[in-house]
């Protein structure tokens, strides 16, 4: 299909159709299947710029990029690239087949999951959306129908704007547009267009990684519960060291995908290892969610192309390394903080400023389907829900003193049973779970029988915080194959 105007008309029609659909308010960004509170202002950028660990990460990356560029300009660099070419030749000669199979397979997997837009993170009750994704997969079989699949991808992204926060759907925009552009370029009969098909994939993944990495600087609190639940992620580093350096690594490796051939291929290999290391701990659904990114990272690692089409002189020079990194940081930080102000205004509080009696606000709205992070407290946001165990206890005919006594007796028996385990680490956790549950039970009794506003607020805070820690300890036991006691 070579009539570009026809394609544009069809895409405009699809966008116009979405425009007449009834919009729905959206106040959450879904990450790790948890709806994070995003209308909070991002942390001041000065917080990052005064963090020594941020600059330590930048220094290490600059050292790596400069060293790699020096090697690349030598005969050793060319030999290295030639060796990589020989190893990847079997896939390089069939790379379009690989890409098309992976894109089609991704949409079949999303269809199988059901009830999601483009990624398992974004839920939808509209069953027909899943069938559209199956049609997208079917359209990739033929080059003639690939542009229709591309239009379908853009259509679903625009459709998702009804239900999800537009600002944070930008996480998915670059990748979606890149995949759609690849399908259009691959179907084109014009060689001068088609030669850019792998390049648009590279730019799409690079922009997606750089954009999403800024969350680690703007909302580091979002990552605290995940680090608590899966401490192995930090490689033994303190949380406040790991998060900014992880943000630097993600941003700079994303930028590295746009650099010279050796830099981008090594960056792709590093990213592939990182993404694969997360497959088992986070499960199959997480694998599906990242499958398209991982496939494109493979494409970048395999790509034999040496030509640089944009700003080639600055990308090849050594001075281009710090200049490129500084320019990318300025552009992306300005866009992220600036667009957030456009969408939400400048009067919103940051996550750190959302305090109640000295306790940090929860990172996301509570749901039993969203295990990561603490539950949001009722008094912190309009419309937020308390978890089930945060409702006042039913005391029946018992006095509050009898209820306190019964809760302590149950806690004591379960603690002693847990502390009897032969492994001291397991004994500690088995003892702490009923200890925390006892605090929750006492807090529920306070909500049922008390009246002091400060104590009532403290009780709600205890329920949310103690339940978070119970969930983390139960996850720790499950990872070690220890029978997890019932709540």
Q: Do 259 and 315 form a contact (C-beta atoms < 8 A)?
A: yes
Q: Do 195 and 171 form a contact (C-beta atoms < 8 A)?
A: no
Structure token digits, residue 324 = 């490129």
Across 60-69, 160-169, 235-244, least confident range: 160-169
Extract long-range pairs of 52-61: CB within 8 Å, 24+ residues apart: 53/240, 53/241, 53/244, 53/245, 54/217, 54/244, 54/245, 54/247, 54/248, 56/245, 57/244, 57/245, 57/247, 57/248, 57/249, 57/252, 58/248, 58/252, 58/325, 61/248, 61/249, 61/252, 61/325
212, pLDDT greater than 60: yes
Coil, strand, or helix at residue 286? helix
Average pLDDT over the chain, rounded to whole?
79
| Cα distance between residue 54 and residue 243, in whole Å | 9
Nearest Cα to 354, choosing from 374, 333, 332?
374
pLDDT tens-digit profile of 138-194?
Answer: 999 999 999 999 999 999 988 888 777 778 778 888 889 999 999 999 999 999 899
Structure token digits, residue 342 = 């456009």
374, pLDDT greater than 50: no
7, pLDDT greater than 70: no
Nearest Cα to 393, choosing from 444, 457, 450, 446?
444
What pLDDT is attached to residue 383? 34
DSSP 39: S
What pLDDT is attached to residue 27? 37
Structure token digits, residue 47 = 């917080």
Query: Which is more confidently placed, 63 or 400?
Result: 63
pLDDT tens-digit profile of 248-288?
Answer: 999 999 999 999 999 999 999 999 998 888 777 777 777 88
Burial class for 366, CB neighbours closer than 10 Å (0-12, 13-18, 19+): buried
Find tokens 């029946």 and name the residue. Answer: 396
Q: Cβ of 10: how many Cβ atoms within 10 Å?
A: 15
Q: Which residues contact 62 (CB under 8 A, 6 or more apart)?
A: 321, 322, 325
Nearest Cα to 211, choosing from 158, 166, 247, 162?
247
The pTM (predicted TM-score) of the whole model is 0.69
Structure token digits, residue 299 = 């494409």
| Cα distance between residue 349 and residue 175, in whole Å | 30
What pLDDT is attached to residue 161? 82
Q: Do 458 and 365 form a contact (C-beta atoms < 8 A)?
A: no
């Amino acid at each position: 299909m070579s009539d570009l105007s026809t394609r544009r008309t069809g895409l405009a029609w699809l966008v116009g159709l979405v425009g007449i659909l009834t919009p729905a308010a959206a106040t959450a960004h879904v990450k790790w299947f948890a709806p994070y509170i995003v209308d909070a202002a991002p942390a001041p950028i000065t917080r990052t710029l005064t963090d020594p660990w941020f600059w330590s990460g930048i220094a290490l990356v600059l050292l790596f990029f400069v060293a790699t560029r020096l090697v690349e300009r030598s005969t050793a660099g060319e030999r290295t690239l030639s060796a990589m070419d020989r190893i990847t030749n079997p896939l390089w000669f069939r790379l379009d087949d690989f890409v098309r199979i992976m894109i089609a397979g991704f949409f079949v997997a999303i269809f199988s999951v059901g009830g999601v837009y483009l990624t398992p993170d974004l839920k939808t009750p509209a069953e027909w959306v899943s069938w559209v994704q199956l049609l997208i997969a079917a359209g990739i079989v033929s080059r003639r129908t690939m542009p229709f699949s591309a239009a379908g991808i853009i259509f679903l992204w625009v459709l998702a704007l009804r239900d999800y926060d537009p600002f944070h759907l930008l996480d998915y925009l670059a990748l979606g547009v890149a995949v759609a552009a690849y399908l259009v370029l691959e179907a084109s009969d014009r060689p001068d267009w088609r030669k850019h098909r792998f390049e648009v994939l590279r730019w799409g993944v690079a922009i997606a990684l750089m954009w999403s990495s800024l969350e680690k600087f703007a909302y580091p609190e979002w990552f605290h519960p995940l680090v608590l639940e899966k401490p192995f992620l930090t490689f033994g580093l303190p949380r406040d060291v790991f998060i900014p350096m992880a943000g630097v690594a993600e941003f700079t490796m994303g930028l590295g995908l746009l650099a010279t051939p050796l830099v981008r291929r090594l960056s792709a290999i590093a990213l592939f290892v990182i993404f694969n290391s997360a497959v088992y701990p986070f499960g199959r659904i997480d694998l599906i969610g990242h499958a398209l990114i991982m496939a494109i990272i493979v494409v970048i690692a395999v790509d034999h192309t040496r030509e640089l089409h944009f700003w080639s002189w600055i990308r090849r020079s050594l001075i281009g390394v710090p200049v490129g990194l500084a320019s990318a940081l300025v552009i992306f930080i300005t866009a992220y903080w600036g667009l957030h102000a456009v969408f939400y205004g400048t009067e919103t509080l940051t996550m750190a400023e959302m305090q109640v009696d000295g306790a940090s606000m929860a990172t996301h709205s509570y749901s039993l389907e969203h295990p990561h992070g603490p539950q949001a407290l009722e008094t912190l946001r309009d419309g937020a829900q308390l978890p089930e165990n945060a409702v006042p206890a039913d005391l029946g005919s018992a006095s509050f003193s009898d209820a306190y006594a019964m809760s302590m007796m149950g806690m004591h028996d379960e603690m002693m049973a847990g502390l009897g385990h032969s492994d001291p680490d397991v004994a500690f956790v088995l003892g702490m779970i009923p200890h925390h549950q006892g605090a929750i039970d006492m807090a529920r009794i306070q909500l049922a029988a008390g009246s002091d506003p400060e104590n009532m607020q403290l009780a709600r805070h205890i329920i949310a915080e103690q339940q978070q820690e119970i969930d983390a300890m139960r996850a720790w036991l499950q990872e070690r194959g220890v029978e997890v006691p019932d709540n």
